[in-house]
Chains A and B, each alone.
Chain A
Amino acid sequence: MKLIPNFNSPLALRIIFAISIFILLFITSVSYKHNRDLQNSSKLMMHTYEINIQLERLLSFVKDAETGQRGYIITKNSRFLAPYLFSRDKVNRSFIKLKKLMNDNPKQQQNLKNLFDLIIQRYTYLEGSLKYSNEKTYDKRKLDNCMFGGRIVMENIRFQIDEMNDVEKDILQKRQKIYQSEISLTPIFSIILFLVALSFILLSYRQISNDLNRLKVFNKKLLISTKLMAESEIIGAFSTWQWDMDSDKIVYSDNQYRLLGYPPNSFVPKKETFLEYVHPEDKQAFSSLMQGIIENKQLPLIYYKVIRKNGEIRYFKTIGKLLIDEQGSKIMLGITFDITEEHFQNIAIYERNKELEKSNKELASFNHVASHDLQEPLRKIQTFISRISDDDMNSLSESGKGYILKIGTSAKRMRILIDDLLLFSRTNTTKKEFLKTNITDLLEKAKLELSEIIQEKNAIILADKLPKLHVIPYQIEQLFINLISNSLKYSQPNIAPKINIFCEKITAKEFPDLLEQSIKKYYKITFTDNGMGFDPQFKETIFVLFQRLHTKTDEYPGTGIGLAICKKIVENHKGHIIADSTPNKGSVFTIFLPE
């Protein structure tokens, strides 16, 4: 039996929680990274747009310069020249910005450098056209060259800017593609992880709540059993106490206080208080016992008396056992019984036993009296009668002779009675030693004992194989002798006696009225004879002491004790004997002996 229920492995729960927390942390970090990616992506976009704008602006500055210059050439108004003049500065600033922005990309830097070269070239053409358009230095061919060259360079600039924009766009697209894939994957992954974590948490929640429920049930049971224990201590008049041998802390159960005559928990038990309640007569034995507990950590069974608070004397029995728990601390567990009632009952039983012993002794002395003192005078009567010689007899009157004869007969009968009575009482008083004995051997012995009369009567005795049983051998032998000699005695005149002995194993259930049901199996041994039998109405009474079915004639001598002895012997063996008969056909004696 498992004493402590298994509250499902806190370890497993801990692992579940650890996994859940890990998943949550993971999700958090993923989200964080996701966020960062988003940020990066927008930054990159901004960057690209910025470059784009800057490049556009650069182009527009160059265009401004071109437009202004063209206006000036046409109008010759120097006001138109202002944007051209400022544009250089603006282009320069724009370049610096672009350079900064394209710091991380060597290819773009190269492009930027090309662009810069182209712009410088453009400006060179602008200056040339400005120079050759001036009235002072006008040169139509050169101006045309410059104008035309400027236009081609402008085309190149545009081309270059477009290329640069394309490069940026390319980068943007590539990065965005990467981010996009990352960003689109993360939510699914996060949701899955989240669900897993959630299910873990739910699972452990269920476990915890289950455990809680079980704990509740067990707590309830514990509460009940504690209650029951306390109740049973009260009902059984016993108590328990624990003595922590290391800290000398002693705990009494409630009933321990009650047994001592105090309300529960009315004082704090200490080593010293143990002795306080012990009866002065037992104090010494008890204190040496306490010493034994402290020194040997043993508490053998002790009987002692205590005096209760109200002065009442109670008889106690205490036994203890040293328990060592997993932490190695030694606790003496003690059980104390209030055995006052038993004590007085024992005294009563003891006295009754003594009385029984006394009466048994009296019975034994009766035996002695019967075997010696009663026989002594009787024997002398008989001997003195036998000493009356024929001469003496002849001098007596006829009636005198008759009286002497009658005295003799009576004395003889009395002797038989005493002998039989002795035999009967001996079947009960002599030692009953049960030995495993082969019953067949005992039957053989009985036949041997009766061999003379068996021969004389030409009797035939047939027997089944008999079992080996735990019996008092000489008594069973006596039983067989009595049963066989009974059959031989009451045989039919002129018919050789025949006795059949059958044996079979039976169960007690088959004979519910006869047999003790607590013993399961019996051997049923039947003695069937072909004798004169008896009237079945006497089948009970023939087992009664001194009960005779025949009149006191010499033809069938006996005192009617043989069957009474049989009954006694069978009863000594916790068995049963019954008889049945058909007059002039024969009798059946059935004995049941426990297996």
Chain B
Amino acid sequence: MKLFIKFDINTVCSQFLKEKLEERQINYTPLGFGEIELDKNLTSEELDCMKNDLEPFGLEIVENQKSVLVQKIKDAIIEMVFMDENGNNLKSSVYLAEKLNHSYGYLSNIFSEVTYSSIENFIILQKIERAKHLIIINEMSLTEIAFLLNYSSVAHLSTQFKNTTGITPSAFQRIIKKRRENLK
């Protein structure tokens, strides 16, 4: 049997974090964008324990201030891309600047410094990631996907898809389908 699971990564993470922290009886207040405020200061030992707890699940305690901001930018972008209504219509620079209370230029610089890639690239990457997801679910045509992701045309989506992954959307679909058949 095969199931497609549609998930919201933010809910998964916050739910998971909640469980882990409650296990250790640490009270906290979520501030959004992966930021939480603890009620008490932890010892370095306790902090290490928590790190070890979260690491196998891909959760990481970000210590550097710039990294924190980059993580916030990323989260904001993901939220923007995966938001179905109108989100994609907003101009991303405006959206990010408003959301994070920093000038876009500043955000862009920090992002490039830390990740060696641009915010624009990261947005494209995420959009393509969403496109991949939609292609695999196979509920929408390419035209509908292009519309949903705010591309001017299928050609535009296909071009960007190919530029980002090196393969066309149809080749991608074919490869994933054959991979699944292979696994059976």
**Cβ-based interface call for B100 (8 A):** no
**Cβ-based interface call for A448 (8 A):** yes
We find that the number of chain B residues with CB closer than 8 angstroms to chain A is 4
CB distance from B80 to the nearest CB of A (A): 26
Annotate A429-462 by CB proximity to B: 1 below 8 A, 0 otherwise.
0000000000000000001100110000000000
Closest to B158 in A: A448
Interface magnitude class on chain A: under 10
A452 to B158, CA, bound (A): 12
A452 to B168, CA, bound (A): 14
Annotate A553-575 by CB proximity to B: 1 below 8 A, 0 otherwise.
00000000000000000000000
A451 to B168, CA, bound (A): 13
A448 to B158, CA, bound (A): 8
What are the residues of chain A within 8 A of B168 when measuring CB–CB? 448
CB distance from A449 to the nearest CB of B (A): 8
What are the residues of chain B within 8 A of A447 when measuring CB–CB? 155
**Cβ-based interface call for B118 (8 A):** no
Q: Helix, strand, loop or mixed for chain B's interface?
A: helix
The residue in A447, A448, A451, A452 that gathers the most chain B C-beta atoms within 10 A of its C-beta is A448
A122 to B21, CA, bound (A): 182
Annotate B31-44 by CB proximity to A: 1 below 8 A, 0 otherwise.
00000000000000
CB distance from A460 to the nearest CB of B (A): 15
Closest to A447 in B: B155
What are the residues of chain A within 8 A of B159 when measuring CB–CB? 448, 451-452
B 134-161 contacts with A by CB, 8 A: 155, 158-159
A575 to B168, CA, bound (A): 29
Annotate B110-139 by CB proximity to A: 1 below 8 A, 0 otherwise.
000000000000000000000000000000
CB distance from B97 to the nearest CB of A (A): 30
CB distance from A533 to the nearest CB of B (A): 29
Annotate B153-184 by CB proximity to A: 1 below 8 A, 0 otherwise.
00100110000000010000000000000000
A69 to B84, CA, bound (A): 173
A447 to B155, CA, bound (A): 9
A448 to B153, CA, bound (A): 11
What are the residues of chain B within 8 A of A452 when measuring CB–CB? 159
What are the residues of chain A within 8 A of B158 when measuring CB–CB? 448, 451
A447 to B153, CA, bound (A): 13
CB distance from A194 to the nearest CB of B (A): 97
What are the residues of chain B within 8 A of A448 when measuring CB–CB? 155, 158-159, 168
A448 to B155, CA, bound (A): 6
- Interface residues of chain B, those whose CB is within 8 Å of chain A, are 155, 158-159, 168
- Interface residues of chain A, those whose CB is within 8 Å of chain B, are 447-448, 451-452
Contacts A451-B158, A451-B159 aside, 7 further interface pairs with beta carbons under 8 A come to A447-B155, A448-B155, A448-B158, A448-B159, A448-B168, A451-B155, A452-B159
Some 9 contacts from A to B, beta carbons below 8 A apart, are A447-B155, A448-B155, A448-B158, A448-B159, A448-B168, A451-B155, A451-B158, A451-B159, A452-B159
